[in-house]
Structure 1
Amino acid sequence: MTKADSRFGSSDAGLLGDDPGTLVTGMGGTAHPLSALPRRSLQPRKGTAMADLIILSYQDEAKAEAAFEAVQSLERDLIIELAGLALVHVDDKGKTRVEMPDQGNRVGLAAASGAVFGALIGLFFFVPLVGLVVGGAIGALVARLDKTGVNAAFRDRVKSELARGRSAVVIYATKLTQDKFADALAPFGGTVVQTSLSDDEERELAHDLTPVA
């Protein structure tokens, strides 16, 4: 398990609360029940296929930890294919702790997907991971993200959901069976913030993160 710590200065304002299974889609979105998740199976990406970025937010850290374990179980059962997974907790003093499962069993993980996920974690929670979001890469990354579903409104929503004392599971999925995914995570309640990135958007983001020789 990989861990990182940082300081997260979010306020307690603007939360949706802990109504079971609230869904907020990208671009700022509106709230919907978790059951409103589209009942479809996403196939492995190629061409213009999409990857899902899903943030499950909880007031109860124990529920977040249980959901985190459940997602890993879904991966083992081939219900979800992950490019990234993290458990985030912000304590009462605003200190952020990030835990990530070992990546050793994901030998097929695309470098671009891993780089983009690490950069998003760093940007959302101010936690630098493996040196991905540094220097001029930050400006290029933000400019590129503002043209995608991970725009400023979406990022603000994510940060508001991680106010002090809250926890979240951050999922970056390249393939998932959404009816089984929703059914497995529904018992934990919480708030869901979701958007997606296309293959082309991901490649462009990864390019912006590549150091210039």
Structure 2
Amino acid sequence: MSTLVVVGYQDMHKAEEVRLQLWKLQRDYLLDLEDAVVVIKNEKGKVKLHQAFNLTSAGAVSGGFWGALIGLMFLNPLLGMAVGASAGAVSGALTDLGIDDNFMKELGASMTPGSSALFVLLRAASAAPDKVLEELKGTGGTILKTSLSHEDEAKIQAALNG
């Protein structure tokens, strides 16, 4: 079962810094991230999502490969690559994995201008929660939404406060 944690920051760049720390923890096998998205509300009030994975470009590359391969069979690999890349890009843009984009945009709309939020979806509980909390200690932020118990939420908020 996946766990959702959303942390808001008053700084526009802080959520990205914390996401980089989480990637480091994942690389050290302390976390199992399913998705980690940074939402920024700029000074003009516009909400932007910074996804961890760009599905549009991944779809274009994959589609281009398969299109070129099929195009080789019909003696026109360039046309096949172009059609495949276009179809792959459209398919990737329409695919939504992880956290729902509409949910993130709605929560982002309620944020103050010049702030950011980090949306994290964990696949499984951390193998070493004390190490994760120690790494996040003092990063600031306020928990906006979570699917954790009240006790676990309080532990995370205490670590964020440092």
TM-score, normalising length: structure 1: 0.44
How far did 1:176 drift? 3.4
2:37–2:119 CA contact under 8 A, matched in 1:
yes
| Alpha-carbon shift at residue 85 of structure 1 (Å) | 0.9
Contact in 1 for aligned 2:12/2:41 (Cα 8 Å):
no
1:188 aligns to what?
Answer: 139
1:117 matched residue in structure 2: 98
Partner of 1:25: none
1:164 matched to 2:113? The reply is: yes
**Aligned partner of residue 18 in structure 2, secondary structure:** helix
Deviation of the 1:82 alpha carbon? 1.3
TM-score, length of structure 2 as denominator length:
0.56
- Higher relative contact order (CA closer than 8 Å, sequence separation 6+): 1
Task: Indicate the structure with greater helix content.
Answer: 2
* Distance in 2 (alpha carbons) for counterparts of 1:188 and 1:123: 24
Return the offset for 1:191. Answer: 0.6
* Paired amino acid for 1:125: K
Aligned-residue identity in percent: 27
> Which stretches in structure 2 are left out of the alignment for 5+ residues?
56-94, 149-162
Alpha-carbon distance in structure 1 between the residues aligned to 2:109 and 2:5: 13
TM-superposed CA distance for 1:57, in Å, is 0.8
Shift, 1:76, TM fit: 0.9
Once residues 84 and 97 of structure 1 are traced to their aligned partners in structure 2, the CA distance between those partners, rounded to angstroms, is: 16
Residues 1:175 and 2:124 aligned together: yes
1:136 maps to none
Q: Contact 1:96 / 1:125 at 8 angstroms: preserved in 2?
A: yes
Amino acid paired to 1:72: W
- 1:59 Cα offset (Å): 0.6
Q: Report 1:62-73 matches (<5 A).
A: 62-73=13-24
Aligned equivalents of 2:54, 2:32: Cα separation in 1: 13
Answer yes or no: is the 8 Å Cα contact 2:99–2:121 preserved in 1: no
SS for the counterpart of 2:113 is: coil
* Structure 2 Cα separation of the partners of residues 179 and 125 of structure 1: 31
| Partners of 1:75 and 1:53 in 2: CA distance | 16
- Residues 40-72 of structure 1, C-alpha deviation per residue, up to 9 Å, x if partnerless? xxxxxxxxxx32101111011232221011111
Contact 1:57/1:192 (8 A) holds in 2: yes
Give the whole-Å Cα distance in 2 for the aligned partners of 1:103 and 1:182.
Answer: 28
Tell whether 2:54 aligns with 1:74.
Answer: no
Asked whether the equivalents of residues 52 and 194 of structure 1 are also in contact (C-alpha less than 8 Å), the reply is no
Q: Which has the higher strand share?
A: 1
**Are residues 1:93 and 2:44 paired?**
yes
Name 1:59's counterpart in structure 2.
Answer: 10
Superimposed CA distance per residue, residues 13-53 of structure 1 (whole angstroms, 9 cap, x where no aligned partner) = xxxxxxxxxxxxxxxxxxxxxxxxxxxxxxxxxxxxx3210
1:103 deviates by: 7.1
Rg bigger for which structure?
Answer: 2
| Long gaps (5+) in structure 1 | 1-49, 105-113, 127-154, 198-213
Deviation at 1:98, TM superposition (A): 1.3
